[in-house]
Amino acid sequence: GAVVSQHPSWVICKSGTSVKIECRSLDFQATTMFWYRQFPKQSLMLMATSNEGSKATYEQGVEKDKFLINHASLTLSTLTVTSAHPEDSSFYICGTVPSYNEQFFGPGTRLTVL
Amino acid sequence: GENVEQHPSTLSVQEGDSAVIKCTYSDSASNYFPWYKQELGKRPQLIIDIRSNVGEKKDQRIAVTLNKTAKHFSLHITETQPEDSAVYFCAANGSGDKLTFGTGTRLAVRP
């Protein structure tokens, strides 16, 4: 499977601050990456599709001005949670598709907003 | 869009017994159905997948069946072991690479 890294693995921040999460594809060029959010004991919910060189596509109900996505290269996508609040505390996971349909995930970033 | 339902939400089996998890999907355009295993605090790991052109796929103790007519697919784990304890998610792809996940099944294998 594909090798995908995420940084940081965990972050604690104060309410109102912004947090950037990086997702890197280490062994192939990813034109598309997916960002998910997972609350405790719940399933993965797709937030947005990150497209290299163009705007991200957001799922219904996800605020694009709050969750900024940048996919400036074929190996890096970033998710910035702006003005984070405690309800944004979650496990954020990115996914990539190196071959037909098969999706592999980064190790995830646990965000805690105080 | 795609909607995936998964049952049961929790499953407890004795070591050595079989476990079956079932999912249904709504979008007839879906043609890819992966299963993921997620341990606490870790990323989901792809354990097996099936495409719409086959009805069954097996990999050692794990098998998946697909019924396209009824729009349901199932995961079968035989000879369960304590290390199989985890949360399992099914998913379906709609018409592209975007995955819609089921709600998850927490499997506990009792030694």
Q: Over the stretch B86-106, which tens digit does the pLDDT of each residue have?
A: 999 999 998 778 899 999 999
pLDDT class for B15, splitting at 50, 70, 90?
very high
User: Distance between CA atoms of B53 and B71, rounded to whole angstroms?
Assistant: 13
Burial of B41 (0-12, 13-18, 19+ CB in 10 A): exposed
The mean pLDDT value for A92-96 works out to 95
Query: How many residues are given for chain B?
Result: 111
- Tell me the residues of A at the B interface, defined by beta carbons under 8 Å apart: 1, 32, 34, 42-46, 49, 93, 95, 97, 101-108, 110
Q: Which residues of B touch A108 (CB under 8 A)?
A: 42-43
pLDDT on residue A72: 83
Dihedral of the CA atoms B63, B66, B67, B70 (nearest 10)? 110
According to DSSP, residue A59 is labeled P
For B87, name the nearest residue in chain A, comparing CA atoms only: A41
Contact (CB<8Å) B93/A34: no
Testing the interface with A: which of B33, B48, B97 to mutate, by most A Cβ within 10 A? B97
- Please state, in angstroms and as integers, the Cα–Cα distance from residue A109 to each residue in A5, A20, B15, B75, following that order: 10, 10, 33, 28
Q: Which positions in chain A touch B32 (Cβ < 8 Å)?
A: 101
